[in-house]
């Protein structure tokens, strides 16, 4: 096939939140942008390429969802400015208004506003599969006539579901450019006029089934019930953390065996020396100790992805709105905080969906307290070494209970910090949560699988790049300078890293950290999991005698006190996130003040929490 012809044509996808723009974008361009069943997933414009069957290449832009061209939040501003060509790029040549066919009453408002711009516009009637199932009848010809723009049906989650749309785009390749009419913000009369027009179009083109109680409403009665609702939420979260330990055993065993074998083979085949130490103590011990946690991370993400697709999350946000209101947060902060469980970076970016600046700032400041997935290896390592595999109350796995408690500690402290921020700013105003509830949906298995693959790829990339390079760097720092000939202890004690560890130990000894932990904390700021790989390398190098790297878990179980282990867990609940989090805070707040403030308060909290944990644990264990 010959190379596609660059047409220079740019088309933009716009529409209400959660109508399937990104799903359509992925289908058109073969991208894998995040799709989830709640409003406010996309907060940035994203671009991709569509090759039409006729061999032409079109640039496609995906935009954040917007209810109107009169923006209420920053992501809506992005959408309006992109359509009007106010960003530093020209206006799109063709606008594709995406609508949720099951909710045209709401969706058509934006379409009517956009149509008034007088730009080339087409309508993609998405989710027509769901509309058909629900018995919503839409007369395409009437819709085209009333709106005066071309209309096509799409199903963004089905292969070939956008073929008609591609044909329509193809037809538009020739007719451009067209000057836009000026846009002015609408006043009350303008809004009323838009409403009237939407009603007129609906009457002419759409017939909805006589409404009985829908499945969604029946489910909501239980899921959002003041008592049952919370029970379901707690049970869901609990199951999630139980599974992280219960289901991961077997695959973790395989990976562990593979790593052990690699180390043993290298030891057997290679002569003793620097290169073998770099490979065995630096790379295999370092990278391997993190790699083991892949199954647990994937299990966690399987739950997160399935929940995201189900439509349950915004309901949880509604239930928690009251609770969050007492600490001065609105339910709008729920989704950004929830994304932070994967990683604080997208979580902080998702705060753009929050219109009020103070609310947004509070959410940004507490986002690092929710437990990001990079902390899982650290938690899992320590839990695996110090918490026995016991059942409590007959059916709960104790390790899972401890993990749940750590996540809970993060959430509770996030709420506490939000409360302090509220009290100190003297604010009492509350904005009640207004958010559309999406329909419930069975998670799409194919999407789930692709999502997991993507997560595995991201994790392995991190292991192969940042963790690998930091492991090698640490190995050098921990191996040089070489010990003097009369040295008696392990060589690492005389190295640069050893000296650094000893220096830090003076500050960290009161909270129970030895010099090995102190060393590991430093690269741990680049990325949290690196603390685990660093411990792997440090302990492998600390081993005197036959120099065979033992597995990290039994090693730390033998050499740390329980109080030290608990103290390190407490440290990781609070200690500042990686560098990328601080730099995204700087970018989003446009100031160096907030990241510094964040790092400062998190360090202080971490030290305090570890100190208390250590002292209390010592008192109880009588050490
Ligand atoms: N059944 C069905 N589901 C769809 C269709 N299009 C999208 N979805 C689902 O609808 C949900 C929302 O899709 P997204 O593509 O994230 O929506 P969006 O418009 O980009 O949302 P924002 O970025 O929040 O504005 C996801 O759960 C999709 O899997 C469709 O045609 N049929
Ligand atoms: Mg989107």
**Which ligand has the nearest atom to the CA of 40?**
1
Find out whether 601 and 573 touch, Cβ atoms under 8 Å: no
From 71, 97, 126, 156, mutation site for ligand 1 pocket: most ligand atoms within 8 A of C-beta: 156
Q: What percent of the chain has pLDDT over 70?
A: 94
Q: Is the CB of 23 under 6 A from ligand 1?
A: yes
Instruction: Kindly state if the Cβ of 129 falls inside 6 Å of ligand 1.
Output: yes
For ligand 1, whether the C-beta of 311 sits within 6 Å is no
Cβ–Cβ under 8 Å, residues 304 and 241: no
Q: Quick check: CB of 382 below 6 Å from ligand 1? A: no
Task: Give the DSSP letter of residue 16.
Answer: S
Indicate if ligand 1 lies below 6 Å from the C-beta of 21: yes
Phi, psi of 57, deg, nearest 5: -110, 130
For residue 178, the model assigns a pLDDT of: 58
Q: How far is the CA of 19 from the centre of ligand 1 (A)?
A: 5
Please list, residue by residue across 410-429, b when 16 or more beta carbons sit within 10 angstroms of its beta carbon and e when fewer do. bbebbbebbbebbeeeeeee
Q: What is the DSSP letter of 104?
A: H
Ligand nearest to the CA of 26: 1
Closest CA to 100 of 76, 59, 129, 60: 129
Q: Is 16 in the pocket of ligand 1 (CB under 6 A)?
A: no
pLDDT at 108 over 80: yes
pLDDT digits (tens, 9 = 90+) for 130-180: 999 888 899 999 999 999 999 999 999 888 999 999 999 988 876 655 565
Q: What secondary structure letter does DSSP report for 491?
A: G
Between CA 495 and CA 475 the distance in angstroms is 10
What's the pLDDT at 182?
66
Decide which of 184 and 80 is more confident. Answer: 80
Atom of ligand 1 nearest to the CA of 127: 31
If you measure from the C-alpha of residue 528 to the centroid of ligand 2, how many angstroms do you get, rounded to a whole number?
29
The pLDDT value recorded for residue 490 is 74
* Residue 97, beta-bridge partner list: 14, 123
Q: Per-residue DSSP letters for 290-333? A: HHTTHHHHHHHHHHHHHHHHHT-HHHHHHHHHHHHHHTT--GGG
CA of 40 to the centre of ligand 2 (A): 7
Separation of CA 357 and ligand 1 centre (Å): 28
Matching residue, tokens 């489910």: 219
Does the beta carbon of 14 sit less than 6 angstroms from any atom of ligand 1?
no
- 113 CB within 6 A, ligand 1: no
Residue 371: Cβ within 10 Å count:
23
Write out pLDDT tens, residues 311-326. 898 888 888 877 778 8
Tell me the pLDDT tens digit for each residue of 192-233: 888 898 999 999 888 887 765 577 888 888 988 889 998 998
Question: What pLDDT sits at residue 546?
Answer: 47
* 237-242 CB contacts, 8 Å cutoff, 24+ apart: 237/404, 237/407, 238/400, 238/404, 239/303, 240/300, 240/303, 241/400, 241/401, 241/403, 241/404, 241/407, 242/396, 242/397, 242/400, 242/404
Average per-residue pLDDT in the chain?
A: 86
The residue whose C-alpha atom lies closest to atom 7 belonging to ligand 1 is 20
CA–chain centroid gap for 185, Å, is: 34
Verify whether ligand 1 is closer than 6 Å to residue 19 (CB atom).
yes
Please tell me if the CB atom of residue 37 comes closer than 6 angstroms to any atom of ligand 1.
yes
* CA distances, 122 to each of 93, 148, 177, 178, 332 (Å): 11, 9, 15, 14, 31
Query: Atom 13, ligand 1: which residue's CA is nearest?
Result: 20
Name which of 48, 49, 45 is nearest 6 in CA terms: 49
Question: Is 40's C-beta closer than 6 angstroms to any atom of ligand 1?
Answer: yes
Predicted local confidence at residue 547, as pLDDT: 43
| Domains of the chain from N-terminus onward | 10-208 (3.40.50.300), 228-371+397-464 (no CATH), 473-621 (no CATH)
Q: What is the CA radius of gyration of the chain?
A: 28
The number of the ligand 1 atom at minimal distance from the alpha carbon of 447 is 29
The single residue listed with the structure tokens 């000894």 is 509
pLDDT at 548 over 50: no
Give CA–CA dist 455/435, Å, rounded. Answer: 28
Digit-coded pLDDT (tens) for 411-422:
899 999 999 988
| Residue 207: φ, ψ to 5° | -120, 115
pLDDT over 90, % of the chain: 30
| Predicted local distance difference test score (pLDDT) of residue 183 | 66
Backbone angles phi, psi at 225, to 5 degrees: -65, 140
Q: Is the CB of 263 under 6 A from ligand 1?
A: no
Q: Of 178-182, 268-272, 332-336, which range is least confident?
A: 178-182
For residue 387, give every residue at least 6 positions away whose Cβ sits within 8 Å of its Cβ, in sequence order, or none. Answer: 398, 399, 402
User: Both tokens of residue 257?
Assistant: 């065996």
Residue 119's H or E segment, with its range, is: none
Cα(61) to centroid of ligand 2, in Å? 11
């Amino acid at each position: 096939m010959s190379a596609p012809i660059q047409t220079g044509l740019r088309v933009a996808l716009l529409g209400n939140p959660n109508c399937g723009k990104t799903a359509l974008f992925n289908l058109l361009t073969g991208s894998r942008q995040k799709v989830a069943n709640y409003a406010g997933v996309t907060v940035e414009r994203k671009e991709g390429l569509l090759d039409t069957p006729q061999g032409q290449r079109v640039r496609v832009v995906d935009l954040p969802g917007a209810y109107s061209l009169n923006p209420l939040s920053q992501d809506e501003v992005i959408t309006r400015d992109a359509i009007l060509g106010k960003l530093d790029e020209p206006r799109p040549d063709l606008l594709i208004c995406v609508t949720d066919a099951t909710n045209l009453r709401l969706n058509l408002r934006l379409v009517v506003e956009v149509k008034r711009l007088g730009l080339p516009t087409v309508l993609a009637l998405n989710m027509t599969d769901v509309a058909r199932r629900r018995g919503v009848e839409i007369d395409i010809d009437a819709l085209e006539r009333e709106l005066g723009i071309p209309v096509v049906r799409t199903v963004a989650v089905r292969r070939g579901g956008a073929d008609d749309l591609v044909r329509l785009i193809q037809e538009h390749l020739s007719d451009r450019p067209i000057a836009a009419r000026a846009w002015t913000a609408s006043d009350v009369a303008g809004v009323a006029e838009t409403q009237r027009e939407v009603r007129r179009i609906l009457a002419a083109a759409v017939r909805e089934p006589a409404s009985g109680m829908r499945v969604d409403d029946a489910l909501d009665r239980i899921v959002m019930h003041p008592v049952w609702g919370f029970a379901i939420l707690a049970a869901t979260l609990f199951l999630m953390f139980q599974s992280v330990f219960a289901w991961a055993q077997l695959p973790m065993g395989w990976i562990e065996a593979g790593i052990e074998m690699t180390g043993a083979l290298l030891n057997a085949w290679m002569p003793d020396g620097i290169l073998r130490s770099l490979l065995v103590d630096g790379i295999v011990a370092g990278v391997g100790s993190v790699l083991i946690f892949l199954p647990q991370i994937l299990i966690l993400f399987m739950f997160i992805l399935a929940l995201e697709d189900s439509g349950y999350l915004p309901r949880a946000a509604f239930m928690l709105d009251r609770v969050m209101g007492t600490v001065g947060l609105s339910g709008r902060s729920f989704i950004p905080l929830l994304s932070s469980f994967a990683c604080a970076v997208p979580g902080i970016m998702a705060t753009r969906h929050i219109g009020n600046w103070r609310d947004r700032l509070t959410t940004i400041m507490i986002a690092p307290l929710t437990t990001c997935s990079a902390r899982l290896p650290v938690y899992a390592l320590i839990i695996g070494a110090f918490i026995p595999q016991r059942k409590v109350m007959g059916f709960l796995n104790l390790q899972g209970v401890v993990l749940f408690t750590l996540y809970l500690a993060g959430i509770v402290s996030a709420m506490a910090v939000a409360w302090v921020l509220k009290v100190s700013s003297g604010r009492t105003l509350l904005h009640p949560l207004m958010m559309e509830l999406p329909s419930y949906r069975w998670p799409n298995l194919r999407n789930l699988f692709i999502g997991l693959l993507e997560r595995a790829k991201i994790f392995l990339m991190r292991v192969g790049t940042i963790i690998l390079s930091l492991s090698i760097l640490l190995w050098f720092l921990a191996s040089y300078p070489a010990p003097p000939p009369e040295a008696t202890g392990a060589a690492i004690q005389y190295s640069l890293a050893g000296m650094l560890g000893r220096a830090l130990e003076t500050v960290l000894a009161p909270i129970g950290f030895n010099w090995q932990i102190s060393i590991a904390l430093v690269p741990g700021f680049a990325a949290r999991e690196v603390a685990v790989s660093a411990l792997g390398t440090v302990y492998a190098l600390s081993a005197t005698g036959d120099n065979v790297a033992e597995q990290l878990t039994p090693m730390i179980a033998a050499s740390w006190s329980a109080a030290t282990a608990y103290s390190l867990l407490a440290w990781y609940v609070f200690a500042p996130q990686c560098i990328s989090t601080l730099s995204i805070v700087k970018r989003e707040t446009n100031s160096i003040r907030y990241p510094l403030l964040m790092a400062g308060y998190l360090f202080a909290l971490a030290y305090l929490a570890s100190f208390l944990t250590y002292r209390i644990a010592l008192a109880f264990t009588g050490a």
